[in-house]
Structure 1
């Protein structure tokens, strides 16, 4: 038993260590965000609501069926349902009815409402697709920012090692009297500045990781980390295309245009639905009702020995009398017997013809027609915005690529200049200040290469999305 407990502890501890050591790739981050991001979940709820709206529209074609039952006690001066006489009493009455109704014609509003619900579902799906594209880009940008900060720290560490070597070398030369002590102080100052920059870089990594984790919806900030992988620049063929080809493809593929078109269709459908109110509506109905009472029933009549004069014979003036009778009241009939005897049916058709309703229908139609014009303007504006955005993204990507190539050339030149300054410093032909200046310029050139590289990768992916490449098919 002790061995089993020890094995369970080892497996649990190993699982915890493995979970802590997990490092996320960009693809994993994007896929996780698409499944767990709150904004995407909210958009999915909109799709779910549109499905419910569609079911509502389908339900309008189904007959309505309602049933009602009432069991009531009346106390005080009430009518005796058996004798018809008002008297103080307590009586129980039960009634039930069921009604079915069906709309046969309502100006095709039910049919057009179903079409609108389908369009609404489509618009919600387009909005969800756009949200996924936006979140995927946002995650990619945040991920590349973390990667840039990590590699920036590696550059600082590498340069710090060079500074440490120069510090040791300068200390030896100062002790030997070859270099002045000022050079040693200059190198130490540079070392202190680099240490501060590394601390800042570490903080930037931590902050960018937290930002990425929040975007993904991950709350374990302490153990969250990404793969330290160097992403290469691939897929430059997109920039070989004409920007106008990308714009035309974007108009066909992008959700922004599809959303605007769907909203325009929805507005036109609202006009058609509101116009249906001009037309008559026809419905059919069927009703079944029955009742039961706890009041006693009349079982017969008997004479009470008295007479009541009801008239006179004209010739003899002899009185005409009739005996007075008393009703015999017995127990009520059984419950189900009363229901079967007292039931009834009603059925028929109901026609409603709109004549005048204070211009409400006309104003609603005009209001919806204004909404159509607004949707048309929104569609036109969406196309213009998409053209501008694609053109901007295409120009930014080309400029980022040129900037990256220039940064590479500058870094290569600064590397040679630094190596030359390092060689001259080793033989005492330059001072520590000039050496540090050359090293700083080289460090900045390396950072600029990293910045330009990841800026170009991100902007290239933006262009690919506009061209219609699915989020999950983006290659990094």
Structure 2
């Protein structure tokens, strides 16, 4: 009996736990945080950043001397050269050699130092690109989030339309039976109800599509329904009429522009690397070699022991080399010219991106102001259309207006409500963009408050 109670408790806890998870409310911040943790594309950026960091570390290691070791062993047959005496012998013998060598660049036109700086700038660009990808994902989630909010709001409006039509249809059916309403009105109401049912089905499909898009961006693999909660109050700021000041502020911290600037600096280091190919290079090197030869014998003809030969056959080498580029078919100077052109290209690209961003910012600020006015006007119109619909409904029930006038008022109210919902969601997105322009990652701030 006790064991059965334990199993029952476990079963109930699992059922309740799954039910709670399925009914979990998702705020915009939670959706973005989940996406940042699980989005597959972001993981690729993280890998690329780790690769660039390893490139930086390796460029620093290139300042160390290179060391290599070698060994060989062989068995000679027939007529061959004795590696000990360089004389021809006709006997079979075994030989074994060992070597250790090292080299280091004393001077190579500061190529290694420039390579280190180049990899540092590339690593910074990679880091900024990952941050920028995170920001882009946050706004993709924001748009997808409000798409779901919008379509769910539209679905509520459609349900209210259907419920009102069903109620009126029942009333009209009774009045038609009593001879108080024409059958044409009844048929018209049935036709409109079927159209509203179709509209509701289409919106339900749009909700499913928008929700699937949001889950895909979040990499949220679950069939549970997502209950989205839009709790952020809308506060319109009047201090958004200086796009140039906002643009100057944005470009100083924007990870996207910082990545372009880092790539520009990396391109400048490519020029330094190309110039270093025109300078002489000095290398220092050294080596240690020894070996064992079966043909190396003592006065009695016995092969000298391995330990003695390893000691006696040692030879060391220390040296330096100087390489001066004299003529390489102008390839080096051509690389310098192309590197300069790449710098000009990178600068042009930076200015072009800034110009695009400035006009995009001006357009967003203009749309924000227009949407604020539009939303307020639609709210006022919605209140008026609500009163007009209620009046039309009473008049229709009393037979004072025909069915066409009734549906004109009814559809006008539904259209106005949908416009209120549309303008509000678009306004919220624009407000989030404005916050981002000001250097505020709204999803991080809301998360820290929680």
Query: What is the TM-score when the length of structure 2 is the normalising length?
Result: 0.93
The answer to whether the 8 A contact 1:267-1:368 is kept is yes
| Corresponding residue for residue 425 of structure 1 | 396
| Corresponding residue for residue 184 of structure 1 | 186
The answer to whether the 8 A contact 2:84-2:293 is kept is no
Change in 2 beyond 3 A, CA 1:4/1:293: farther
Given candidates 417, 423, 435, the residue that maps to 1:452 is: 423
The answer to whether the 8 A contact 1:159-1:443 is kept is yes
Does residue 288 (structure 1) correspond to residue 288 (structure 2)? The answer is yes
The answer to whether the 8 A contact 1:184-1:432 is kept is no
Deviations 1:48-80 (A, max 9, x none): 121011012101111111111111222221134
| Corresponding residue for residue 139 of structure 2 | 137
| Corresponding residue for residue 341 of structure 2 | 370
List runs of 5+ in structure 1 lacking aligned partners: 301-328
The answer to whether the 8 A contact 1:136-1:471 is kept is no
The answer to whether the 8 A contact 1:69-1:96 is kept is yes
1:116-135 to structure 2, matched below 5 A, reads: 116-135=118-137
Which range moves more in the overlay, 364-373 or 278-287?
278-287
Query: What is the TM-score when the length of structure 1 is the normalising length?
Result: 0.88
Does residue 338 (structure 1) correspond to residue 338 (structure 2)? The answer is no
Which range moves more in the overlay, 370-379 or 246-255?
246-255
Which range moves more in the overlay, 37-46 or 64-73?
37-46
Distance in 2 (alpha carbons) for counterparts of 1:375 and 1:52: 25
Question: How many residues get paired?
Answer: 445
Structure with bigger gyration radius: 1
Deviations 1:188-215 (A, max 9, x none): 2222111111111111111111111111
| Corresponding residue for residue 396 of structure 1 | 367
| Corresponding residue for residue 68 of structure 2 | 66
Does residue 436 (structure 1) correspond to residue 437 (structure 2)? The answer is no
Distance in 1 (alpha carbons) for counterparts of 2:60 and 2:268: 20
| Corresponding residue for residue 223 of structure 1 | 224
Distance in 2 (alpha carbons) for counterparts of 1:363 and 1:471: 49
Change in 2 beyond 3 A, CA 1:15/1:89: farther
Using the TM superposition, give the Cα deviation of residue 451 of structure 1 relative to its aligned residue in structure 2, in angstroms.
0.7
Using the TM superposition, give the Cα deviation of residue 472 of structure 1 relative to its aligned residue in structure 2, in angstroms.
2.6
Distance in 2 (alpha carbons) for counterparts of 1:369 and 1:226: 55
List runs of 5+ in structure 2 lacking aligned partners: none
Deviations 1:206-228 (A, max 9, x none): 111111111111232x214132x
Runs of 4+ in 1 over 6 A off after TM superposition: none
Change in 2 beyond 3 A, CA 1:263/1:471: farther
Q: Secondary structure at the match of 2:266?
A: helix
The answer to whether the 8 A contact 2:432-2:442 is kept is no
Using the TM superposition, give the Cα deviation of residue 37 of structure 1 relative to its aligned residue in structure 2, in angstroms.
1.6
Comparing both structures, which one devotes a greater share of its residues to strand? 1
Using the TM superposition, give the Cα deviation of residue 174 of structure 1 relative to its aligned residue in structure 2, in angstroms.
1.7
Deviations 1:438-462 (A, max 9, x none): 1111111111110110011011211
Given candidates 11, 14, 17, the residue that maps to 1:12 is: 14
| Corresponding residue for residue 96 of structure 1 | 98
Distance in 2 (alpha carbons) for counterparts of 1:298 and 1:4: 88
The answer to whether the 8 A contact 1:23-1:224 is kept is no
The answer to whether the 8 A contact 1:243-1:394 is kept is yes
Given candidates 387, 396, 416, the residue that maps to 2:387 is: 416
